Amino acid sequence: MKTPKNSEIVMTELVLPNDTNMLGNLLGGRLMHWIDIAAALAAMKHAGRICVTASVDEINFNEPIRLGDIVKLYASVNRAFRTSVEVGVKTVRVNVEGDETPANNAYLTFVALDAERKPIAVPPLTPETDEEKRRFDEAGFRREQRLKNRQQLDALRQQRESGV
């Protein structure tokens, strides 16, 4: 039995001058890069396989992260589907005094691959705590929304192609 705790990853980064924009804040793209790495590690830890990014559902930038801050990224699998997993990543800004502030959260979907780079089944996930169960349920909702959006976009494209 695999639980979200089994996939937990903590990554720590220091914001250096090359990581910042002209305001001295961490570049959004650099943070997205770190989020993708942390999430990929959590997905691979759960699946025991190479996992690739399939989608990024949501990234929220809530607080600026500044030059000299420490960035902690907490990633774990929220839910496992047939060949994919949703990973949640929480980013915390730590200043030089050691004060921690939640700065960002993101949800990414990864697909596990076999030796031929084809999707392969992932182990099921069993949430244990109330928080893990909440994240599990919300991941299912996000997946339903993503699939519904995909169907609606496909229908719209078909309408345009048929000249309707």
Q: What's the CATH number of domain 4-162, 3.90.1860.10, 3.10.129.10, 3.40.50.300, 3.20.190.10?
A: 3.10.129.10
Its pTM surpasses 0.75: yes
Per the DSSP assignment, residues forming a β-bridge with 71 are: 13, 93
- SS3 call for 136: helix
Cα–Cα distance for residue pair 37/47, rounded to 1 Å: 15
* DSSP-derived secondary structure for 33-89: HHHHHHHHHHHHHHHSSEEEEEEEEEEEE-S--BTT-EEEEEEEEEEE-SSEEEEEE
Where along the chain do its domains lie? 4-162
Question: If we measure between CA atoms, which residue out of 55, 51, 57, 58 comes closest to residue 111?
Answer: 51
Q: Express each pLDDT in 98-157 by its tens digit.
A: 999 999 999 999 999 999 999 999 999 999 999 999 999 999 999 999 999 999 999 999
